[in-house]
């Protein structure tokens, strides 16, 4: 049964808006703008502006923060479910695999997990980038409009990172 929160969430946050927001957060995480699992106020302002521009809707930072907290709770619930013996996940079909008995026993204690019985966690891999405590720093990232580094560039990036803990795009012969 859908609650008022579920209904208002789906009106303000249809799938395409949620996906755009997740993509924006992933971009900010890979830029290193989520130290210690927290976005700074200037990052919230930037994300709010980007999302409003992309979706042609007006958002406030508080709405984005609330949505992020709901996404984090959903991610944690799904992650926790997958850590239990008897559960598997088919990434191609976005479904959780488990016997009826395993589901029944798990749902006795974790009733919020029932949302994953027929459909897994949307955008799980992207949410993992945002919420996984073992996130990379983004130091060696490259943008999607930039060719991936070649072997020489990768070696130079590795050396820079190992020597001073940071790296940036490295110019190699023939690079302009």
Q: Based on the domain organization, do 153 and 85 belong to the same domain?
A: no
* pLDDT of 1 strictly over 90: no
Q: Give the range of the structural domain holding residue 101, as residue numbers without chain letter.
A: 4-138
Collect all residues with Cβ–Cβ distance below 8 Å to 136 and sequence separation of at least 6.
none
- Nearest CA to 84 out of 109, 65, 58 is that of 109
Collect all residues with Cβ–Cβ distance below 8 Å to 158 and sequence separation of at least 6.
167
pLDDT band of 154, cuts 50, 70, 90: low
pLDDT score for 97: 92
pLDDT band of 173, cuts 50, 70, 90: very low
Give the CA radius of gyration of the chain.
20
Collect all residues with Cβ–Cβ distance below 8 Å to 51 and sequence separation of at least 6.
17, 20, 21, 24, 57, 59, 64
Mapping DSSP to helix (H, G, I), strand (E, B) and coil, where does residue 143 land? coil
pLDDT score for 5: 54
Query: Six-digit token pair at 107?
Result: 């749902």
* pLDDT of 141 strictly over 70: no
Query: What is the arithmetic mean of pLDDT over 120-132?
Result: 93
Q: Based on the domain organization, do 168 and 82 belong to the same domain?
A: no
Query: What is the arithmetic mean of pLDDT over 115-138?
Result: 83
Query: What is the arithmetic mean of pLDDT over 99-128?
Result: 93
Q: How far apart are CA 112 and CA 115, in angstroms?
A: 6
Alpha carbon of 90 to those of 74, 78, 82: distances in Å? 18, 13, 11
pLDDT score for 6: 55
Query: What is the arithmetic mean of pLDDT over 100-106?
Result: 94
Q: Based on the domain organization, do 18 and 36 belong to the same domain?
A: yes
pLDDT band of 13, cuts 50, 70, 90: very high
Q: Based on the domain organization, do 115 and 76 belong to the same domain?
A: yes
Q: Based on the domain organization, do 98 and 83 belong to the same domain?
A: yes
How many structural domains does the chain have? Answer: 2
Query: Six-digit token pair at 167?
Result: 């790296």
Query: Six-digit token pair at 30?
Result: 């890979």
pLDDT per residue as tens digits for the range 43-100: 999 999 999 999 999 999 999 999 999 999 999 999 999 999 999 988 888 899 999 9
Greater confidence (13 vs 146) lies with 13
Task: Give counts: helices (H), strands (E), the chain.
Answer: 7, 2
Q: Based on the domain organization, do 98 and 119 belong to the same domain?
A: yes
Q: Based on the domain organization, do 132 and 144 belong to the same domain?
A: no
Q: Based on the domain organization, do 122 and 155 belong to the same domain?
A: no
């Amino acid at each position: 049964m859908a609650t008022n929160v579920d209904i208002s969430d789906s009106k303000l946050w249809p799938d395409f808006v949620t996906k755009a927001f997740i993509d924006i957060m992933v971009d900010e995480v890979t830029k290193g703008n989520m130290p210690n699992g927290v976005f700074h106020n200037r990052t919230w302002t930037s994300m709010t502006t980007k999302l409003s521009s992309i979706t042609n809707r007006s958002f406030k930072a508080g709405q984005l923060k609330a949505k992020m907290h709901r996404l984090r709770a959903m991610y944690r619930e799904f992650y926790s479910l997958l850590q239990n013996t008897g559960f598997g996940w088919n990434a191609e079909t976005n479904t959780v695999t488990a016997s009826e008995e395993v589901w029944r026993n798990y749902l006795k204690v974790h009733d919020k997990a029932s949302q994953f019985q027929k459909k897994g966690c949307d955008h799980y891999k992207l949410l993992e980038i945002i919420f996984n405590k073992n996130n990379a720093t983004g130091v060696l990232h490259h943008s999607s409009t930039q060719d991936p580094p070649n072997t020489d560039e990768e070696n130079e990036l590795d050396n820079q990172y190992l020597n001073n803990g940071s790296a940036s795009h490295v110019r190699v012969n023939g690079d302009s």
